[in-house]
Structure 1
Amino acid sequence: MGGNKLTIAILGLGEAGSHFANDLVGPRLVAFGVNVVGHDPAPKHTLLPSVRLAANNADAVRGADIILSVNLSAVAELVAAEVLPALQPGQIYAEMNTASPDTKRAVAAIVEQAGAMAVDVAIMAPVPPKGILSPFLVSGPGAVLFAEKLRPLGVDITVLSDEMGEAATRKLLRSIVYKGMAAVIGEAVEASRAFGLEDYIREQIRSIIGDNDALIDRFLEGSKTHALRRSHELEAVVSMLTACAVEPVMSRATLTSLENLILQNQLS
């Protein structure tokens, strides 16, 4: 911390976290000499040898310039509280989970007790295939410094404001549309198959989204493959809308659709 080369701690080495870790130490960015240390209680993804594994989250954040919290929104506050005793003034704590604005603000309130600067990061595209080059929307007290440190690596960052929760709000509002559309397309295609009219319904869908049959398949496969992660995203949407007295009728239905897909995945 404080040297010329960045040290980045990654808390959570699932699909997103492992991609970020490997990209930061991989061939394209090797000239920058980024040091990466990470922790995951149950790592499942292959990591490059230069990614150092820490014994726990607190050990991972010690001496780090930037901390990327990429685990689950359900544990975002617990992880922040776990690492609080090890945080130092000036560290940047980036909360990257798809969580409600209130959760982002709660995380900030925890890490700021140690003088760390919180950043609300919204990942605006699927992490594979771009990895660390996926587009990020950021807000919060540490947003500008976060961008200054990572943009030289080629990271795509749009700074919104110094308000925690603004990046999360924009992502979740978009999720109402994208995840809702995926749920509607999934139901329409399933129903059309029952009637032997899949070609017909695909034609109707293409008339709305453009003549792109591959996009329909991406909606279908994406919902199935990422049902669990997307259900957490819709839970955050429902929480956000409920907090501002908007009845999340369609978002609750989308969440139910994803929960059904999770059950189907478990039974298959």
Structure 2
Amino acid sequence: MNMPPKPTEWHVGIVGYGEVGRILAEDLRAQGVSVSACDLKLGTPEEAALIAHAARHRVGLTDSHAALARSADLVISSVTASQTVTVARACAPGVQARAFFLDMNSASPGAKCEAAACIDRAGGRYVEGAVMTSVLPYRSGVPLLLGGPHAAALLAPLKALGFAPSVADIRLGIASATKMCRSVMIKGLEAMVIESLTAARHYGVEDAVLASLQETFPGIDWEAQASYFFQRVVQHGRRRSEEMYEVAKTVREARLDPFSAWGTAERQAWMADLADAGVFGERADPRFGRFGHWSQAADRILAHRPLLTKEPA
């Protein structure tokens, strides 16, 4: 495969046309980069929003992973964690020799190595990418750790395309391990805040709990932080839970029991189930995002307890 010398002349294929995929597509198209995308929602009743966005930004759509890879100089995989290996397998038959495959999914080191084997056997160049914080407000400039034997070769092209990468290690799994171990803390804190403040709300002690947290950690605005945590988990709990199950795998791969990671995954999934059931609705309080103050979400959780959990014996 003869790749164009300038990365801005590459054709980029994006697998996963959700929030992150659409942001990447917008930023690449703003530079005039040719982009196509593939998503499992194409061909389903949920495809309308994807088609409308693609039309606005002149992004080509296909329902075939292999066809997408066949035309791409760079494939970016940005799907839910559980689909990491599945996407690599689906793309592999179409991956062109020497084409890059950037895996930005939040998956365990073991899953990354398995995905890499699929792409490498097909003659492509697999690079793991670990997104180290929320994509917004950074967009395509979000800090990105690269890993694997082809990471250095992709570093400059990604910078030319507007990304903010750095090479973590030539060994596969190191970048992913960094991301996963960070998530034990970050996603775990989300789950703990939701559990702590919802229970505190039940007992009527939330003001005392927040005051104590503020005294212990004065650098954090706990009211605003709690509302942000509730909002993010209500909005993205399913994706977060899948990531945390991968985090649990990462901890197990280190031969440790993932007590915290597994509990966080379960809490995130539980919140996602509530959101899917319409428990939270949408809020318009501009101070705390569209889901409102954390206490509003906590009250809705408490109101639905009889439908969700069994009382302890």
Give the whole-Å Cα distance in 2 for the aligned partners of 1:72 and 1:201.
34
Instruction: Give how far 1:208 is off.
Output: 3.9
Helix, strand or coil at the partner of 2:79 = coil
Give the whole-Å Cα distance in 1 for the aligned partners of 2:123 and 2:28.
26
1:29-108 to 2 correspondence within 5 Å? 30=31, 33-42=32-41, 43=47, 44-45=49-50, 46-47=53-54, 48-108=56-116
- Which of 228, 231, 237 aligns to 1:227? It is 237
TM-score by length of 1: 0.92
Give the whole-Å Cα distance in 2 for the aligned partners of 1:153 and 1:208.
43
Tell me if the contact between 2:69 and 2:96 (Cα under 8 Å) persists in the aligned partners: no
CA RMSD across the alignment: 1.6
Instruction: Single out whichever of 205-214 and 78-87 deviates more from structure 2.
Output: 205-214
Partner residue of 2:25?
21
Instruction: Give how far 1:55 is off.
Output: 4.1
Helix, strand or coil at the partner of 1:137 = strand
Give the whole-Å Cα distance in 1 for the aligned partners of 2:90 and 2:230.
38
Give the whole-Å Cα distance in 2 for the aligned partners of 1:208 and 1:185.
15
Larger radius of gyration: 2
Give the whole-Å Cα distance in 1 for the aligned partners of 2:204 and 2:120.
58
- Which of 232, 242, 246 aligns to 2:256? It is 246
Give the whole-Å Cα distance in 2 for the aligned partners of 1:201 and 1:65.
53
Tell me if the contact between 1:138 and 1:160 (Cα under 8 Å) persists in the aligned partners: yes
- Residue segments in structure 2 that go unaligned for 5+ positions in a row: 42-46, 280-313
Instruction: Give how far 1:41 is off.
Output: 2.4
Tell me if the contact between 1:123 and 1:135 (Cα under 8 Å) persists in the aligned partners: yes
- Which of 172, 175, 178 aligns to 1:167? It is 175
Give the whole-Å Cα distance in 1 for the aligned partners of 2:99 and 2:241.
31
Partner residue of 1:237?
247
1:179 paired with 2:187, answer yes
Give the letter aligned to residue 18 of structure 2: G
Give the whole-Å Cα distance in 2 for the aligned partners of 1:211 and 1:113.
48
Give the whole-Å Cα distance in 1 for the aligned partners of 2:266 and 2:158.
38
Tell me if the contact between 1:12 and 1:40 (Cα under 8 Å) persists in the aligned partners: yes
Distance verdict in 2 for CA 1:65–1:169, change over 3 Å: same
Give the letter aligned to residue 39 of structure 1: C
Tell me if the contact between 2:16 and 2:39 (Cα under 8 Å) persists in the aligned partners: yes
Tell me if the contact between 1:120 and 1:166 (Cα under 8 Å) persists in the aligned partners: no
- Which of 114, 124, 147 aligns to 2:132? It is 124
How many residue pairs get aligned? The number is 263
Instruction: Give how far 1:25 is off.
Output: 0.5
Partner residue of 1:137?
145
Give the letter aligned to residue 41 of structure 1: L
Counting aligned pairs with the same residue, the percent is 27
Helix, strand or coil at the partner of 1:160 = strand
Instruction: Give how far 1:239 is off.
Output: 0.9
Tell me if the contact between 1:98 and 1:122 (Cα under 8 Å) persists in the aligned partners: yes
Give the whole-Å Cα distance in 2 for the aligned partners of 1:175 and 1:74.
16
Which stretches of structure 1, 4 residues or more, deviate above 3 A after TM superposition? none
Give the letter aligned to residue 214 of structure 1: A
